[in-house]
Amino acid sequence: MSPIDAFGRPQTVLLLGATSDIGRAIVARMVDAKGGTAILAGRDPKRHQGKPLGTETHHLYFDAADFSSHEKFFSETFTEYPRIDTVILAFGVLHNQDEVDDYPELAVEMANVNHVGAGSALLQAANRLRHRGGGQIVVLSSVAGLRPRQSNYVYGASKAGIDFLARGLSRSVAAADVHILLVRPGFVHSKMTAGMVPRPFSVTPETVAKAVVDALARRDRVVWVPSALRWVMGAVRLLPQSIVDRLDG
């Protein structure tokens, strides 16, 4: 059985991507006034210690791009914190497409972090929770990964990879009481998108957090934020690529 309590509340939440505005908002909503423990993991533990989350909080070092360290990190973390029942994958890299066109190494960085690193962490987390007896994993994807657009196709490609993996893995671990929620937000006002021109249907990290917690309670496999994007993107997928390119101009 999953270690999540009878009311669906997580006991210990592990956030990978500790400086993520969206990730922190999700953790805050999960543990606010409910007790529990938050573990914030990222490359710079000193930067994690921003606004208090209102609960017991621990800070760990985790490098998404250092794949060789992932097995050790998860082994040690799940041993030290045996009540982990929720893992949130919220780390990511977003470079301007114009910069990526001039410096291909930036594309490699996005692929390594957003796809390969996220995939490695997802598989490690799912394996630990499966052997633990269950739990839940939140994977931050993006609508950018659903249809190539000239303004961010490299970022979109990196998100498409983790999106595909999460959907496939979700079915294979369901029998072990491990629930994977794939989150597909549109434009989110955050540190990552600072300076960018907001897109239609823009939301805040807090809006994403509420949608995630509600979706987990319903045991949804995919949540769109805002929900209208499900229908918008369904229509966009049917459009010829030439029209999509003009809309992106």
- DSSP secondary structure of 66-97: -GGGHHHHHHHHHHH-TTEEEEEE-------H
Instruction: For residue 18, give every residue at least 6 positions away whose Cβ sits within 8 Å of its Cβ, in sequence order, or none.
Output: 24, 40, 41, 42, 45, 47, 48, 59, 62
Q: Model-level pTM?
A: 0.88
Catalytic residues: 155
Percent of the chain with pLDDT over 70: 79
Q: Above 80 in pLDDT, residue 240?
A: no
Tell me the domains of the chain and their CATH numbers.
12-247 (3.40.50.720)
Q: Which of 80-84, 119-123, 178-182, 194-198 shows the lowest per-residue confidence on average (mean pLDDT)?
A: 194-198
pLDDT tens-digit series, residues 62-81: 999 999 999 999 999 999 99
Q: Above 90 in pLDDT, residue 112?
A: yes
Kindly give the pairing relationship between strand 56-61 and strand 222-225: unpaired
Residue-level pLDDT at 1: 42
At residue 211 the predicted structure's pLDDT band, cuts being 50, 70 and 90, is: very high
Mean pLDDT of the 211-228 span: 93
Helix (H, G, I), strand (E, B) or coil at 102: helix
Tell me the range of 45-49, 223-227, 229-233 where mean pLDDT is highest: 223-227
pLDDT tens-digit series, residues 24-40: 999 999 986 566 899 99
